[in-house]
Amino acid sequence: MNVLFSRKTLTAFGLALPLAASSLYAPALMAQMGPGPRGGGPPLDRALAAGRHGRWWDNPATAQQIGITSQQQAKMDSIFQEHRLKLIDMQGALEKQETILEPLLQPSQLDKSKVLSQIDAVADARAALEKANARMLLDLREVLSPEQWQKLQAIAPMPPMRGPDFRHHGPGGPGDGPPPPPAPPQQ
């Protein structure tokens, strides 16, 4: 039996399939690739990463360069651990929603309302994860003094957050990320 698709069905499928494919495979691909040498991600995330991944404040050279005290390190470790468990759960929730979406895109006749509803669920889970991550980064930033924040900015400057290129991430682009911090002076 020959099935003819309407323009609306083809358009919905054409829009939903790339979105679903990118939401399903991009996280796995990024996890396999690991963190890039030049950064990436949201500007606050890049600035707080300071060329390091994870707990950069525990790196002796970076901590000394910025002037982080042992009390600040302990507070940042506590914030990181407190938020980390929530972020792990939220990442799992996002993966669950993406897993639910995948089989909805398999049939030749899509149930557009179910697909769109599940795309919304994926987007909501992703937004919740991004918000939780931003809250953690803001909590970490609040531990730093204004002077320490300026030093961190000098190591990992944030690009302006306006204009059409704000979301562009790539070599040489506004979201390219900072170079690694300079090596500590040799004595």
What pTM did the predictor assign? 0.56
Please give the average per-residue pLDDT across 129-143, as a whole number: 94
Q: Has residue 43 got a pLDDT over 90?
A: no
Give 54-86 pLDDT, tens digit per residue: 688 988 988 999 999 999 999 999 999 999 999
What 3-state DSSP class applies to 178?
coil
Based on its alpha-carbon atoms, the radius of gyration of the chain, rounded to whole angstroms, reads: 21
Domain boundaries, the chain: 41-155
Comparing CA positions, the residue from 173, 184, 165 lying closest to residue 59 is 184
pLDDT of 184 reads 54
Q: Which two tokens stand for residue 157?
A: 């400057």
163 — pLDDT class (breaks 50, 70, 90): low
> Distance of CA 119 to CAs 39, 88, 109, 126, 145, Å?
28, 21, 17, 11, 41
